[in-house]
Chains A and B, each alone.
Chain A
């Protein structure tokens, strides 16, 4: 095509594009005359219009919209509300007009559907809490919050009173309101904000678009309390936001908000100052449009705002704004909250003075002092931990995000996600209150990994990492004794996903031992999670699968790792049977596990951890023998454990854990000796146990476990003396045990277990007195025990299986009296 020809084509094309769709055919006829080539050319270009859609729209390119939610079509309904139409859109999400049909009447509401973040499990809870607060205050100038929740997709929403009106600035501009009337309107806004402040509710996101003026001229504030709800987490997590970013509108946010510092009512005063500035001059104190957030922050935090009068372009207006109004606005916009108006009330008081022609306070000192005190009173405490966690989260998020958008995204995102999920996670794990941050970290890293994984369906290495990511998040969501979010159902789901991926990978690459090791580990966690949820069948299936995998591995390559994996997998399976009371089933599995642990220990006798594992394996088997009445077998296993633990203790004399372990061996040997009718032997074992425990308690007086076990040993010694017929000694030891347990119960943090120990000690004494025919004392002790147990039942902490104990103790109390001659 020549330039001249294109000129022709272009002219016709432009004309046709300009004409109405119905007229195009005619326009083509007219413009092309008989030039069929020209017409074909234009038509083929016009055809592109339909095919192109939004492609090559200047607004859509070359920037990319990353999140589709923002442009998604509105839902048909949200909760019980039917969406009528979209009425607004902002940083947080979209606002819809909606109706609720209650048959009787139709109620119109505004629904704000939040799309700024994702994954905020705490929001519902915060919403319920905040709603109670928000429901308590009603003010004609504040739009009521009616309801809220999350959609089926987990998107949070808020239902608010529907307000028909014009945004504040537009309202004033369209009516060309004079300054005095603008101030009157502003004072009404301030009244509503002050009302909320008196109830300790801050807005945090005040801006003209959040203030609608109705046709009757009354302003109404929207979104009160929403920012706080969206922003703040639970307790220590205050300030840690769902996406790691605070809710704010840069043009109206105070310097302290920009810096991420604690929010005070003074920050609302600042935002009101910006609004007043704009209301009076038509401009904002800083021109932040088109600036990056960093730039905006710098402007707001460092640069002095231009004086109000200078912002007014009109000389007449400029004159009016100079002087008092300028001082008032400047005082509201002070960078240091302590130099600002201390409250909205102070700001309005000064404006009223101005309107009345009285001298204003803004020009006088003294307010500083009051402001200082006020701010100190209201400053919210934020733990350094939560801030640190939020910071890490933010940095990690940005790093991931940048990496993903970059050229080297694949390897980069992967290694970053790995760093975030493992290194960062581990780094903040010891911080108190970091659980939520950890969950967010892992979740966000996992999101990236999942996306990569979808894009590279065949990459086993990546799938593996995704699986480990699920395992991580499952552990944070709710597994084991480490701090977690307590969401065991979510944890179960995560472990299941992890195991499913690993199972698939293992099937594809059965020779990969590291992969197998991970799969076994996840299956064990999955089994535990199932068992905790009460689904014992699934728990057993997962445990069996772990054992089967471990057996495969052990058969093909019986190195230490494979041996250990198999031993652990078998222990897990045995635990399941044991917990369901199927002891006979558990015994052979435990025997196999014991052999494996013993083998590992024999291979490396100097490895004390292995020695300990072997000792534990012996003891757990011994306990199973014990409950099934095989006392001689139990005794043999306990002896094995004793030998191993004595070796540990000898190897390291200061190893208190080894000493405590050994004391339990002795104590268990005492128990089994009694069962084998060897009471003198039992006594000797219990005394050995007691001596060790006393030694451990002396070495570490804060060791509660050692202290408790001393009381327990003394109780057992008392019982042995009782069975040996030495009632004096039995009584002396029993009283000592009771005294120890009672002292223990006095300490803070006493649980249910300690109280039952006290009760049982009373019951032991009752038994001894009964044997001595001291029936009144016996009955008194039994009664003490009974009242503790019945008290526990009333408090609802006593397991149902122990209810019968209460009646039994009452019967025991009577038994002596019935038996003894009057």
Chain B
């Protein structure tokens, strides 16, 4: 797909065309996967692989550099963050399944994404907690998705959501504690 075409999809989505997202998803997904592979192939083992870098690079590749404005980029980052979440959760789930069922089948997508696991966090549990938070407070849930799964900065998150950086900061700070409590249970 040409960058111009992808940019067009992005614009359509921005303008309310929900099907555009479905068309973008597999392309972006594949692109992220490819980039992650390149990262792994080129970096030293001590490199910290952050989704941000992936997402930014995917943007560079997929979006027509001549026609996009800052808004477009913010929206793209938003799409990518949802994508990262999906990838990571899929990965975590399949890992658990693999543990249960033995390592019977290879999980094609995860070979490049195995790196994204923080040993201190059970992503499936986090995802459940985040779903609960999103029901309580959709805006806050989205902030977490962008910040945590997309690796977006406060400013980028603010830009993508059209809210102020101060709000993002507040939402993120409180959501973090709520999620942790939800996952760990209240202090005894």
Contacts and interface: CB of A to CB of B under 8 A. Distances in A.
B135 to A, nearest CB: 8
B149 A62 contact: yes
B17 interface: no
Interface string B10-35: 00000000000000000000000001
Contacts of A290: 52-53, 56-57, 60
Interface string A287-306: 00011111101000000000
A817 to B, nearest CB: 77
Nearest to B170: A14
A655 interface: no
B40 A64 contact: no
Interface of A is mostly: helix
Given A17-B174, A56-B176, A56-B179, A292 B48 contact: no
Nearest to B135: A3
Interface stretch (A394-402, A549-557, A714-722, A791-799): A394-402
Nearest to A2: B136
B173 A398 contact: no
A64 B117 contact: yes
Q: Which interface residue of B140, B149, B187 has the most chain A CB atoms within 10 A?
A: B187
Contacts of A402: 40-41, 111-112
Interface string A153-194: 000000000000000000000000000000000000000000
A62 B85 CA distance: 10
A44 B186 contact: yes
Nearest to A70: B46
A6 B103 contact: no
A397 B46 contact: no
A243 B42 CA distance: 12
B143 to A, nearest CB: 10
Interface string A384-402: 0000000000000110011
Interface of B is mostly: helix
A63 B177 contact: no
Contacts of B140: 10
Contact of A64 (B53, B56, B116, B149): B116
B187 to A, nearest CB: 5
Contacts of A70: 46
Contact of B136 (A6, A45, A62): A6
A51 B35 CA distance: 35
Given A62-B118, A66-B48, A291-B60, A44 B174 contact: no
A62 B38 contact: no
Interface in B115-153: 115-121, 123, 126, 135-137, 140, 147-149, 151
B100 interface: no
Contact of A65 (B48, B94, B147): B48
Contacts of B48: 63-66
Nearest to B179: A56
Interface string B164-188: 0000001011101111110010110
Contacts of A397: 45
B162 interface: no
Q: Which interface residue of B42, B106, B126, B181 has the most chain A CB atoms within 10 A?
A: B42
Interface of A: 1-3, 6-7, 10, 13-14, 17, 44-49, 51-52, 55-56, 58, 60-67, 69-70, 115-116, 243, 245, 290-295, 297, 397-398, 401-402, 405-411
Interface of B: 35, 38-53, 56-57, 60, 84, 88, 91, 94-95, 98, 103, 106-107, 110-112, 114-121, 123, 126, 135-137, 140, 147-149, 151, 170, 172-174, 176-181, 184, 186-187
